[in-house]
Structure 1
């Protein structure tokens, strides 16, 4: 994914202004990191888009069966407690946490760190940027994160306050205690 980062160094954009920028430029995929840099990302290609849709579908199907929370697509931006505004490829939040937000907080960019996030590296994604983004998630309170990296045939598993675990060509990932009973079969996501 080609990324353009605007360093707004001395310009402070409020949360409301960032929301308005996103609403007035819906054709752009925008994020903001902890340094306040505005990140403009290009759309993904067909292969990555298809893989992302499959991943979200697997999460949604599990969630519908369990009723434990809410699943989100890559179009959702979360206002994280560390000051960044991020949009994972897929995310999930437990029911009690999500329902504790007001209607207005749910309608805009929810001020909450998901319990689980997933990032799928596309052919043009910079792995260092994705790893930095995953660390932002963990610093913001995310409990479990998966960085699926088809190019290197591996998955990086991020857990709150633990070292990153790298698995080479795993066939199945467990949602552990965060997503009980959720398993992701990876063979179709790791093919290049």
Structure 2
């Protein structure tokens, strides 16, 4: 039986404490992120928002914001950015568009193959840039449709000049700090 977004909304209303996505007509219950990966995602979103908001470039949201994709899947990247001209007002429910930028942060229970497939799905529907952050090996993979993957390490700087000219973040600054 293939479920719809309306089915998901009903189930979600009955189980508000669970985060869910709709993928190929099946509801996927999302487990909580690992602490470190959530800290990395929150830090990334903060860095991006700190640059985007004063320039009024668009919207930055976290993992609880759902996007209805053209194939009627409902997906929620860890961090998303949508240009202001594409989303003038925040929808009360799910955004019925594909974000311009998505970020996935690997949690301990995630499989890289699934995260990469999720990024590829978004790219196939029009997302311009997908980023996979892996705190386990301190790498960042940058995806663009029809281009090879760019892998960055701790000594490098992430930029997205095609979407956010001038914005940058040092890869080494993405990781959760260690306090002595």
Do they fold alike, i.e. is TM over 0.5? yes
Task: Quote how far apart the aligned CAs of 1:179 are.
Answer: 1.8
TM-score by length of 1: 0.83
Question: What is aligned with 1:132?
Answer: 117
Distance in 2 (CA, whole Å) between partners of 1:42 and 1:28 is: 8
- Shift in Å at residue 170 of structure 1? 5.0
C-alpha distance in structure 2 between counterparts of 1:187 and 1:168, whole Å: 8
Aligned to 2:156: 171
Aligned to 2:87, the other structure's residue is in SS state helix
Alpha-carbon shift at residue 52 of structure 1 (Å): 1.6
- Preserved CA contact (<8 Å) 2:4 2:25: no
SS in structure 1 of the partner of residue 136 of structure 2: helix
For structure 1, list consecutive stretches of 5 or more residues without a partner in the other structure: 1-10
CA apart distance, 1:123: 2.1
Map residues 152-191 of structure 1 onto 2, 5 A cutoff. Answer: 152-169=137-154, 171-190=156-175
Gap change, CA 1:46 and 1:67, over 3 Å in 2 = same
Aligned residues: 177
1:4 corresponding residue in structure 2: none
RMSD: 2.0
For 1:170 and 1:136, the matched residues in 2 are separated by: 29
Q: Find the counterpart in structure 1 of residue 76 from structure 2.
A: 87
Q: Is the 8 A contact 2:5 2:72 kept in 1?
A: no
Q: Distance in 1 between matches of 2:120 and 2:47?
A: 24
Pick one of 2, 5, 11 that aligns with 1:21.
Answer: 11
Cα deviation, residue 191, structure 1: 6.6
Contact 1:156–1:164 (CA under 8 A) maintained in structure 2: yes
Q: What is aligned with 1:53? A: 42
CA distance in 1, matches of 2:25, 2:148: 26
* Contact preservation (8 Å) 1:82, 1:139: no
Q: C-alpha distance in 1, partners of 2:166/2:176?
A: 25
TM-score normalized by structure 2?
Answer: 0.89
In structure 2, relative to structure 1, the CA distance for the partners of 1:118 and 1:22 (3 Å cut) is same
Q: Report deviation, 1:15.
A: 2.0
**SS at structure 2 position matched to 1:31:** strand
